[in-house]
Amino acid sequence: MAADGFVGSTVCKTCHADVWFTFYKNPHYKSVASGDQPPERTGCEGCHGPGKAHVEARGGKTTIPRAFSLMDPKAVLDTCLNCHARDFSKANIRRSEHSLADVVCTNCHSIHKSPAAQFLLAKKQTELCYGCHADVRAQFSMPFKHRVNEGFMACTDCHNPHGTFASAWGMADGSNMVNRAEGNQEPCLKCHADKRGPFAYEHPPVRVEGCGVCHMPHGSTNAKLLARPVVFTLCLRCHNGADNFGTRNNGIPALSNTHNMLDPRYQRCTLCHVRIHGSNSDGYFFR
């Protein structure tokens, strides 16, 4: 045994054969396979620390320097970031909503016995997220929703569970750990690229507040994932002429006097204003 207490991963297999004989499938095995890593970054002891005392004591969680089941959340996070701190997708993890709520790596990942095909997840990704986000599970069961339950997409297509930086939309509100995509814009544009722009005539809520101002991103009882059941009631949240004698509301064009909202012809605003996300030819989004 080395003087610094490192005994090597092969010693561990004497007792932990169930872990060792499948460890070659684990992405962490590359620290062993490369053969060029120092002992403190190799195999079992790369995560659990020197094993000399543990071997001499014939086992026991309290004799291993880092037994994750006994560690507090900060210690778990610090241990994983010894290697993963350089990963840009985890660069803001210490300030993420998960970390601030003491949800850390081992709450979501199972290093030794992961049943998932990717990322060493402790469960199927949707079931893992639904374990805490029960309200989102309910939204994905609504009549109109993104097809996450069907396996067409996953939570991480839109969210970074390790934390994100300030967004460029929604007044830089970086909550909900939503990924940025397509030039620092909303992840919605990865699929809905036709809504990206830039447009000669922008619809300000789309550019400033983002898709969530009109749409419910997980699921809705309304078509197009809209936040309101009837289109004109959604538009009237802004275009109501509440200020300045009914002509303009803080610079927002008010509803035309010719539009009688009791007439069904005018209750489907997007039948005329077809380019509601932005237009290159008309300031009223007619075409």
Contacts of 75 (CB under 8 A, 6+ apart): 66
Phi, psi of 278 (to 5 degrees): 145, 150
The whole-number pLDDT of residue 58 equals 92
Nearest to 128 by CA among 103, 145, 147, 152: 103
Q: What is the value of pTM for the model shown?
A: 0.85
The whole-number pLDDT of residue 255 equals 79
The whole-number pLDDT of residue 88 equals 79
Confidence of residue 134 (pLDDT cuts 50, 70, 90): very high
The answer on pLDDT for 247 being more than 50 is no
The whole-number pLDDT of residue 61 equals 92
The whole-number pLDDT of residue 246 equals 46
Share of the chain above pLDDT 90, in %: 58
The answer on pLDDT for 244 being more than 60 is no
Residue 243 contacts residue 249 (beta carbons within 8 Å): yes
Confidence of residue 3 (pLDDT cuts 50, 70, 90): low
Q: At 196, which amino acid appears? A: R
- Mean per-residue pLDDT, 74-89: 90
Ordered alpha helix ranges (H), the chain: 9-12, 17-20, 30-33, 43-48, 52-56, 73-84, 97-100, 105-108, 125-130, 134-139, 204-208, 231-235
- Mean per-residue pLDDT, 23-30: 91
**Three-class secondary structure of residue 185 per DSSP:** strand
- Mean per-residue pLDDT, 182-199: 86
What pairing do the DSSP bridges indicate for beta strands 219-220 and 252-253?
unpaired
Domain ranges of the chain: 9-69, 197-279
